[in-house]
C-alpha cells in the first residue's frame, strides 16, 4: 500500500489569532483535531505509513500525535525547522522518508469524507489530482478535467483542486532543496499529458479562516 504525506507546515496566517499558539492541523472541529480526521481516514483505507511535515509550532504536532501507535499507524516527521518550505519544497524535503513509489498527499487544512482507498496512479503519469466543485470562496476554480486528464486551461468548466493527490517522485526529478511551490511542477506535467484526475462530489471543506472552521464545527456537531 502507498505511503501518505499530510502537509502540516503552514503558518495559518488567515486563521490568526487561533494559530498564534496552536498549529492549524491541531485546531478542533466536531470535538476532534483536524489532522486526526485524515489519519483515521487513511488508516481505514489501509494506509499506515505516514509522513507529516511541520514548521510552525511543530513540536506541538509531534507531542500530540507521537509515533501514531494509538491510531494504528506509523508516523515519521519531516521537520522544516521553523521555516516552511512551501508545498513543493516540503514534499521534496520529505522524499527520503516517502521512498521511490508514488505516495498520497493531503493538505492538513481541509476536511473531507473522501475514501483514500480509491486512489491510484497509472505508470505513465506523474500525478493524479482529486478535484471538487468550486466553493464560494474560489468560484473560478483551478483546472479542467477532460477525459480523465487534468489540464491547465482557460475554460468555463473548471474545478478546484481539493488538496488530495497521488504524486510520483519523478515529478521532482529536476528540483533542488529549498522553498518552492508545487503548482508549477503540476502545470508542467499537465502540459505533457502526465496528470490524471477525478471529480469528487462528496463532502469537502477548505478550512482557511476561523469562520469556516466554525462552520465545519457546527456542521459536524449537527
Domains of the chain, start order: 4-221 (3.90.550.10)
Residue with cell 497521488: 166
Query: What is the pLDDT, as a whole number, of residue 20?
Result: 82
Query: What is the pLDDT, as a whole number, of residue 151?
Result: 96
- Residue 41 predicted with pLDDT over 70: yes
Query: What is the pLDDT, as a whole number, of residue 97?
Result: 97
Per-residue burial over 130-159, b = 16 or more CB atoms within 10 Å of its CB, e = otherwise? bbbeeeeeeeebbbbbeeeebbbeeeeebb
- Residue 12 predicted with pLDDT over 80: no
- Tell me, rounded to whole angstroms, the distance of Cα 219 from its chain centroid: 22
Query: What is the pLDDT, as a whole number, of residue 159?
Result: 96
Q: How confident is the model at residue 81 (pLDDT cuts 50, 70, 90)?
A: confident
The average confidence (pLDDT) of the chain is 93
Helix%, strand%, coil% for the chain, nearest 5: 30, 25, 40
Query: What is the pLDDT, as a whole number, of residue 99?
Result: 94
Mean pLDDT for 86-115 is 96
Residue-wise pLDDT for 42-71, tens only, equals 999 999 999 999 998 889 999 999 999 999
Query: What is the pLDDT, as a whole number, of residue 16?
Result: 85
Amino acid at each position: 500500500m502507498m505511503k501518505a504525506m499530510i502537509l502540516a507546515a503552514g503558518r495559518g496566517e488567515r486563521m490568526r489569532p487561533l494559530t498564534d499558539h496552536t498549529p492549524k492541523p491541531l485546531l478542533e472541529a466536531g470535538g476532534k483535531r483536524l489532522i486526526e480526521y485524515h489519519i483515521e481516514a487513511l488508516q481505514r483505507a489501509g494506509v499506515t505509513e505516514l509522513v507529516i511535515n511541520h514548521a510552525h509550532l511543530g513540536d506541538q504536532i509531534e507531542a500530540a500525535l507521537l509515533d501514531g501507535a494509538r491510531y494504528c499507524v506509523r508516523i515519521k516527521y519531516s521537520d522544516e525547522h521553523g521555516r516552511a518550505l512551501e508545498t513543493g519544497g516540503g514534499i521534496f524535503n520529505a522524499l527520503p522518508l516517502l521512498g521511490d513509489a508514488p505516495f498520497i498527499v493531503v493538505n492538513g487544512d481541509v476536511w473531507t469524507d473522501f475514501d483514500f482507498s480509491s486512489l491510484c496512479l497509472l505508470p505513465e503519469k506523474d500525478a493524479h489530482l482529486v478535484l471538487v466543485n468550486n466553493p464560494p470562496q474560489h468560484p473560478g476554480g483551478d483546472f479542467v478535467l477532460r477525459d480523465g486528464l487534468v489540464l491547465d486551461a482557460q475554460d468555463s468548466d473548471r474545478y478546484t483542486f481539493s488538496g488530495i493527490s497521488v504524486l510520483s517522485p519523478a515529478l521532482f526529478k529536476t528540483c533542488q532543496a529549498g522553498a518552492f511551490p508545487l503548482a508549477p511542477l503540476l502545470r508542467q506535467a499537465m502540459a505533457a499529458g502526465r496528470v490524471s484526475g477525478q471529480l469528487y462530489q462528496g463532502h469537502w471543506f477548505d478550512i482557511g479562516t476561523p469562520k469556516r472552521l466554525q462552520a465545519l464545527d457546527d456542521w459536524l456537531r449537527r
